[in-house]
């Protein structure tokens, strides 16, 4: 995509995707109306918060919406690697849920512990069960520590994943700061699919950026279970060669099979590697509430959905969003994609609750930015349209692309994207 096309795409892709799903013309906070039903949303991330807001906004207040979220504030996983690089703080990527209440979303700080599919009720940790007419489950991912030998609860205290932005992000930064100059940080990448495909490689850049200025004799070793980088390989490798030559060492086909936390070592099929800081990402699967509710597709770790409505293929009346889904072809598990899932589900639920069929050909879009330094960024973008013959979302030919090269201009786009999507889902 050339510069003009890329700029135009970044400004309009979310608006186009939303317009392709829009059931009505409401664009502001909903006015009070008699509800036609209740939707409960479990999980206040990019998918769940977006769905809650747009259900209220697009239904003009005719749907009662409860958002169940265990955390007091939203902390963004996209851009969280900048905290490790030292150019942003956790406060920079944290936002409040308060404005959702202005749309009439009833935000409950609680945790869903079970779903009674037959009775259409959600059990909560702190308050009594809540009934629903339709349910949205946006549970993100769980990390399968048990898949790696030795990665037990005790090991997890020092061998961090920091793949859910928050206290672990800060703790990993502190480990990097405490590491001696000349030390080694080992990053373990699981087999695809996993949340945020370019994330581990961006993390390597951010840690190397910090080392370059503060610990120039230090090194990052990336142990990737995949044969090669699973996202933007040429662009990342060019950045590593130009900016961090001798600092980042990449090893493909190097799946971490065991962790020894006291010894600060990891094992692959061929080697034992010692590091001063171990950042191991275990394999991932759909969040626990999706599994206990029986939403997984057999022989997978993910939830199958009807891509016209995001409705579960396992249980009618339940819609699954974001990273937990069994992805459509070439669809990444990203924050931007979850945001679009939320809008697709909101539009479809409004139609279904009014006795109408959802949009027969929805279109959604995705953009993933990666900071390869403090200011320079690369991206990948795609547009996905429903294919009735295949009954899935497929990539629109000619509508996808990656950066020609890293640039500071894309850095301004990337931070603007973050500000805009946080406002879109929460404000």
Nearest partner of 80 among 68, 64, 92, 72, judged by Cα: 92
Q: What is the structure's pLDDT at 3?
A: 39
Domain boundary among 282, 301, 324: 282
Residue 240 neighbours by CB distance under 10 Å: 23
Residue where a domain stops, chosen among 228, 263, 282: 282
How far, in Å, are 112, 117, 368, 386, 408 from residue 292 at the CA level? 11, 11, 31, 29, 45
As a whole number of angstroms, the distance between CA 76 and CA 45 comes to: 8
pLDDT tens-digit readout, 143-186: 999 999 999 999 999 999 999 999 999 999 999 999 999 999 99
pTM equals: 0.93
Strand-strand pairing, 94-95 and 74-75: antiparallel
Q: At what angle do helices 335-353 and 46-58 cross, to 10 degrees?
A: 30
In a domain, 106, yes or no: yes
pLDDT in tens, 290-299: 999 999 999 9
* Number of domains forming the structure of the chain: 2
Residue 368 falls inside a structural domain: no
Residue 179 lies in a domain: yes
For residue 246, the enclosing domain spans 145-282
Percentage of the chain with pLDDT > 70?
Answer: 92
Judge whether 239 and 377 are in contact, CB under 8 Å. Answer: no
Q: Which CATH number do you get for residue 133? A: 3.50.50.60
Q: Is 321 among the domain residues?
A: yes
Residues 306-353: tens digit of each pLDDT: 999 999 999 999 999 999 999 999 999 999 999 999 999 999 999 999
Instruction: Determine the Cα angle at 18 with ends 55 and 7, to 5°.
Output: 145
pLDDT of residue 410: 98
Residue 53 lies in a domain: yes
pLDDT > 60? residue 19:
no
270 in the same domain as 178: yes
CB neighbour burial string for 21-56, b if at least 16 within 10 angstroms, e if fewer? bbbeebeeebeeeebeebbbbbbbbbbbbbbbbbbb
Mean pLDDT of 351-375: 97
The DSSP bridge partners found for residue 330 are none
């Amino acid at each position: 995509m050339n510069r003009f096309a890329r700029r135009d795409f970044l400004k309009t892709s979310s608006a186009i995707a939303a317009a392709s799903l829009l059931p009505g013309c409401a664009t502001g906070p909903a006015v009070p109306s008699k509800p036609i039903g209740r939707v409960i949303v479990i999980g206040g991330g990019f998918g769940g918060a977006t769905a809650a807001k747009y259900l209220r906004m697009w239904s003009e207040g005719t749907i009662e919406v409860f958002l169940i979220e265990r955390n007091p504030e939203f902390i963004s996983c996209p851009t969280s690697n900048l905290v490790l690089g030292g150019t942003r703080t956790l406060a920079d990527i944290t936002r409040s849920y308060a404005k959702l209440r202005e749309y009439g979303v009833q935000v409950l700080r609680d945790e869903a512990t079970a779903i009674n599919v037959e009775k259409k009720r959600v059990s909560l940790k702190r308050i009594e069960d809540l009934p629903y007419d339709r349910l949205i489950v946006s549970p993100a991912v769980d990390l399968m520590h048990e898949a790696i030998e030795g990665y037990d609860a005790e090991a997890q205290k020092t061998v961090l994943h920091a793949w859910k932005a928050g206290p672990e992000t800060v703790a990993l930064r502190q480990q990097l700061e405490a590491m001696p100059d000349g030390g080694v940080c080992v990053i373990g990448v699981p087999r695809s699919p996993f949340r945020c495909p370019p994330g581990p490689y961006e993390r390597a850049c951010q840690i190397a950026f910090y080392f370059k200025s503060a610990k120039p004799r230090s090194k990052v070793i990336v142990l990737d279970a995949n044969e090669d980088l699973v996202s933007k390989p040429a662009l990342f490798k060019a950045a590593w060669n130009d900016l961090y030559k001798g600092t980042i060492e990449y090893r493909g086909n190097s799946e971490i099979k065991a962790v020894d936390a006291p010894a600060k070592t990891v094992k692959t099929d061929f080697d034992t590697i010692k590091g001063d800081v171990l950042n191991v990402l275990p394999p991932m699967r759909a969040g626990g509430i999706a599994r206990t509710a029986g939403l997984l597709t057999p022989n997978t770790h993910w939830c199958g959905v009807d891509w016209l409505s995001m409705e579960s293929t396992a249980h009618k009346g339940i819609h699954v969003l974001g990273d937990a889904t069994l992805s459509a072809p070439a669809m990444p598990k990203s924050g931007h994609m979850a945001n679009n899932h939320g809008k697709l589900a909101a539009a479809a639920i409004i139609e279904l609750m009014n006795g109408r069929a959802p949009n027969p050909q929805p279109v959604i879009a995705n953009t993933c930015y990666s900071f390869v330094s403090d200011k320079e960024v690369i991206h990948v973008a795609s547009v996905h349209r429903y294919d009735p013959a295949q009954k899935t979302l497929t990539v629109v030919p000619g509508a996808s692309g990656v950066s020609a090269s890293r640039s500071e201009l894309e850095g301004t786009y990337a931070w603007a994207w973050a500000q805009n999507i946080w406002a879109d889902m929460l404000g």
